[in-house]
Amino acid sequence: MDKFALVLVIVGALNWLLVGLFQFDLVASIFGGQQSILSRAVYILVGLSGIWCLKLLTSNPARANS
C-alpha cells in the first residue's frame, strides 16, 4: 500500500509541476476536465495518498527490517 500511495503522490507532484510551469493540468486533460468525476477521483486519491504517506516521515525503516 505504501508504494501505491507513493506513486500517486509522485503523479500528483508531477501534475502540479506541469501546472506551475506550463499551466497544463495533465489529469484534467486525460480525464475530461477538472470537474469530471474521473479527474475528481484522481485528485481525491492523490490527496488521500499524501495523507497516507505522512506516516513515512515518522517510520524507521531500519527497525522495520529487524
Which spans in 1-66 are helix H?
A: 2-22, 26-31, 37-58, 61-64
Q: What pLDDT was estimated at residue 62?
A: 66
Consecutive sets of 10 residues in the chain, 66 residues long: mean pLDDT of each? 94 96 96 95 96 88 59
Residue showing cell 489529469: 27
The tally of domains found in the chain comes to 1
Cα-Cα-Cα-Cα dihedral sign, residues 14, 31, 3, 45: positive
For residue 36, what are the domain limits?
2-60
66 domain residue, yes or no: no
